Amino acid sequence: MARSPLWRHRDFMKLWAGETVSQFGTAVTMLALPLVAITYLHASAPQVGALTAVEFSPFILVGLPAGVWVDRLRRRPVLLAGDIGRALVLASIPIAYAFDHLTIWQLYGVAFAAGILTVFFDVAYQSYLPSLVDRSLLADGNSKLEVSRSAAQIAGPGVAGALISLLSAPGAIVIDSVSYVLSAGAVSLIRGTEQRERVAKADRPRMRTEIAEGLRYVLGHRLLRPIAMATATSNLFSSMGQAVAILFMVRRLGLSAGTIGLVYGIGNVGFLLGAMTTGWINSRIGVGRTIVLSMAACGPTLFLIPLATLGAPFAWLVAAMLGTAFGGPVYNISQVSLRQAICPDRLLGRMNASMRFMVWGTMPVGAAVGGVLGGSLGLRPTLFISAAGACLAWIPPALSPVWRLRSIAVAEEEEAAMAAAREGVVPPGAAVSGLASDP
């Protein structure tokens, strides 16, 4: 097997190193933050749901303007500001805890501030990679980044459980704060020049006009629209379950922080397997079918979480995590690489922001609903509703041209041909009638 050229790409390696460190810290906080609310502040199900909702609400409130700013600015400074800002706001939790002034309202404030910074970071991050590496290497780059995230998902929760037992949950959040500082250091070492088209301030359209252009591009695109619908549906229902899952494990199943960390750690081996096999799966069945089938595989495994009350909860939970963890990176690597490859550079920020607005914007809604249902119907029924809804997410791309798409290269060629046709210059032999069918 040929060695990937990205191993010799110094700037990509710096970006990858920084993101790897940051992902490990984030995996710690993913478990520590709700446990701070549950264990130390004795939060109820609606309060825990509200914490998740507040964390993701910035994707609705500032997601679209963030895309405009990312398209106007150089993206590396945005990444640096996102890392440093998150390090500072997270550090406030252990400081307040040390002085016995930690409240649920501070957790809401930290979650909201970190969410805003994450919006800008994520939109800039997905828009920066295509300017850092050749577009033919996007899938390879996204796979490597997903492997890091997968490794963090595997090791992070187990480490988090041990750190929480040793340092307390607020103390473990210090690790995430430090990880963002290290990530900022790695990004600051990137030396490649970002090629951007300069537009005079007087010539820029109004922000509302630029936001509308990004939304029209996504909603009018035959591939991006069904992918957005699928991801939004999945995120809506999975966030309902996520809002009460740890509460369910602690209060219904009686699991400790260390055991919960071990469940996530073992189950998330699926992330690594999914990230490492995505390229192989794409080459065997095509990128379109990979997107549809990986999404279809995620929903049913969520039923195993509420079934954990039937006995042997550890085995049920690990099986649930393995299934969803495998399908997630396969889906994400495939669809994110496709989006990056087919979108014009001038629209990358707004395309990513529009997608994030639509697909992450459902998460605070789902989390809030999950918290309310958990308090009224109970934790177990809420988890069953979450799983049933997530099983519907694969339908939009399955009924669209996404299903027939063989490869990202084919999509790129057809996008170029269709763009040329709109401008009245059709390349000889170019097919502009739609996606190529399977041979």
Q: Residues 222-249: pLDDT tens digits?
A: 999 999 999 999 999 998 998 888 889 9
- Max CA-CA distance within the chain? 72
Who has greater pLDDT, 413 or 307?
307
Helix crossing, 257-267 with 313-342: angle to 10°? 50
Q: For residue 289, is pLDDT > 80?
A: yes
pLDDT in tens, 48-71: 878 878 887 887 888 788 777 777
pLDDT at 121: 83
- Who's near 157: CB < 8 A, 6+ residues apart? 27, 30, 31, 260, 261, 262, 263, 264, 265, 268
pLDDT at 171: 73
Question: What is d(CA 115, CA 58) in angstroms, rounded to the nearest whole number?
Answer: 6
Confidence of residue 396 (pLDDT cuts 50, 70, 90): very high
pLDDT at 266: 82
pLDDT at 156: 64
> DSSP letter at 6?
G
Q: Decide if 323 is inside a domain.
A: yes
CA distances for 56 relative to 3, 68, 106, 394, angstroms? 38, 19, 16, 23
Q: Decide if 303 is inside a domain.
A: yes
How much is the average pLDDT of 333-348? 83
| pLDDT, averaged across the chain | 80
Residue with tokens 């980044």: 145
How much is the average pLDDT of 379-397? 94
Task: Give whichever of 66-80, 87-101, 349-363 has the largest mean pLDDT.
Answer: 87-101
Q: Tell me the H-state helices in 361-428.
A: 362-376, 379-390, 395-398, 408-422
Question: What is d(CA 29, CA 33) in angstroms, rounded to the nearest whole number?
Answer: 5
Q: Decide if 432 is inside a domain.
A: no
Q: Which two tokens stand for residue 190?
A: 């990137």
pLDDT at 225: 94
Q: Decide if 194 is inside a domain.
A: no
When computed from its CA atoms, the radius of gyration of the chain, rounded to whole angstroms, is 21
Confidence of residue 436 (pLDDT cuts 50, 70, 90): very low
Question: 292 lies in which domain range?
Answer: 12-189+206-422
pLDDT at 66: 79
How much is the average pLDDT of 371-384? 91
Confidence of residue 191 (pLDDT cuts 50, 70, 90): confident
Q: For residue 397, is pLDDT > 70?
A: yes
pLDDT at 20: 80
pTM: 0.68
Who has greater pLDDT, 419 or 74?
74
What is the percent of the chain where pLDDT is above 90? 18
Q: Decide if 99 is inside a domain.
A: yes
What is the percent of the chain where pLDDT is above 70? 86
Confidence of residue 358 (pLDDT cuts 50, 70, 90): confident
pLDDT at 424: 54
pLDDT in tens, 327-339: 888 998 889 888 8
Question: What is d(CA 91, CA 174) in angstroms, rounded to the nearest whole number?
Answer: 6
Q: For residue 201, is pLDDT > 60?
A: no
pLDDT at 432: 32
How much is the average pLDDT of 129-144? 75
SS3 for 121-159 is HHHHHHHHHHHHCCHHHHHHHHHHHHHHHHHHHHHHHHH
CA distances for 91 relative to 18, 84, 86, 106, angstroms? 19, 11, 8, 12
Confidence of residue 307 (pLDDT cuts 50, 70, 90): very high
How much is the average pLDDT of 319-348? 85
Question: What is d(CA 295, CA 301) in angstroms, rounded to the nearest whole number?
Answer: 11
- Angle among Cα 275, 269, 309 to the nearest 5 degrees reads 130
How much is the average pLDDT of 400-404? 92
How much is the average pLDDT of 79-95? 89
Least confident of 156-170, 224-238, 295-309: 156-170
pLDDT at 388: 95
The answer to whether the beta carbons of residues 37 and 104 sit under 8 Å apart is yes
Q: Decide if 7 is inside a domain.
A: no
Judged by phi (left if over 0) then psi (alpha if -120 to 50, else beta), residue 378 lies in left
User: CATH number of the domain that 213 lies in?
Assistant: 1.20.1250.20
Q: For residue 383, is pLDDT > 70?
A: yes
SS3 content of the chain, % helix, strand, coil (to 5): 80, 0, 20
Q: Which two tokens stand for residue 276?
A: 């490492």
Question: What is d(CA 17, CA 311) in angstroms, rounded to the nearest whole number?
Answer: 41
Dump strand ranges (E) for 244-312.
Answer: none
- Who's near 45: CB < 8 A, 6+ residues apart? 243, 244, 247, 371, 374, 375, 379
pLDDT at 188: 87
pLDDT at 154: 62
Number of residues assigned to the chain: 439
Who has greater pLDDT, 287 or 204?
287
pLDDT at 236: 93
* Burial class of residue 175, CB neighbours in 10 A (0-12, 13-18, 19+): buried
Confidence of residue 296 (pLDDT cuts 50, 70, 90): very high
Long-range contacts of 194-203 (CB under 8 A, 24+ apart): 194/74, 194/75, 194/76, 194/128, 194/131, 195/131, 196/74, 196/131, 197/346, 199/72
Q: Decide if 6 is inside a domain.
A: no
DSSP string of 91-106, one letter each residue: HHHHHHHHTT---HHH
* Cβ-count burial 202-217 (b if 16+ within 10 Å, e if not): eeeeeeeebbebbbeb
Question: What is d(CA 285, CA 277) in angstroms, rounded to the nearest whole number?
Answer: 12
Who has greater pLDDT, 318 or 70?
318
Question: What is d(CA 335, CA 389) in angstroms, rounded to the nearest whole number?
Answer: 21
Number of domains in the chain: 1
Indicate the SS3 state at residue 114: helix
Q: Decide if 47 is inside a domain.
A: yes
